[in-house]
Amino acid sequence: MQEREVGFLELLQHNPVYRRLWIGLSISMLGEWFNTVALFVLIYTLTGSEMGIGLLFVIRMFSLAIPQIFTGMLADRFSRKRLMIWANLLSAGAVLLLLLVDDASEVWLVYVKSRVLMVQQAVFINAENASTPNITEEKE
């Protein structure tokens, strides 16, 4: 006899490990969205250029898509929990680079920071996706 599958709300209710991971991911994702909006506003404020915003978007997408192909290997070889922690610490360090940006001549730091942040996201996403089966049962 096959057990019925567990719904998402049941999973959050009955699996405390997954619930903690999901809450942490939700907070992290919310922070990433605020960061994205802040970067777009910062670029436009410093340069007045829509092209600068477009360039930032292109840098972010390529910096996420291309490394994500290779960062899955890291999740297979190293502790996924440690990878997620280190990725978030790297992210915090990259965000601190923004403190150095106060005029248009330093806008390149925003692009560098954004690239580092998206490579970090590629590592984090693969580690998170690989860890989910370890903390849930097959029926979940």
Chain position carrying tokens 């997620």: 84
Q: Give me the mean pLDDT over the 103-109 stretch.
A: 89
d(CA 114, CA 97): 10
d(CA 96, CA 6): 41
Residue 77 clears pLDDT 90, i.e. is over it: yes
Q: How far is CA 86 from CA 57, 70, 71, 78, 100, in A?
A: 24, 17, 13, 12, 23
pLDDT confidence of residue 103:
87
Q: How far is CA 101 from CA 83, 106, 111, in A?
A: 28, 5, 11
- pTM, entire model: 0.81
pLDDT digits (tens, 9 = 90+) for 8-47: 888 889 899 999 999 988 998 898 899 999 999 999 999 9
- Would you list the domain boundaries of the chain? 15-135
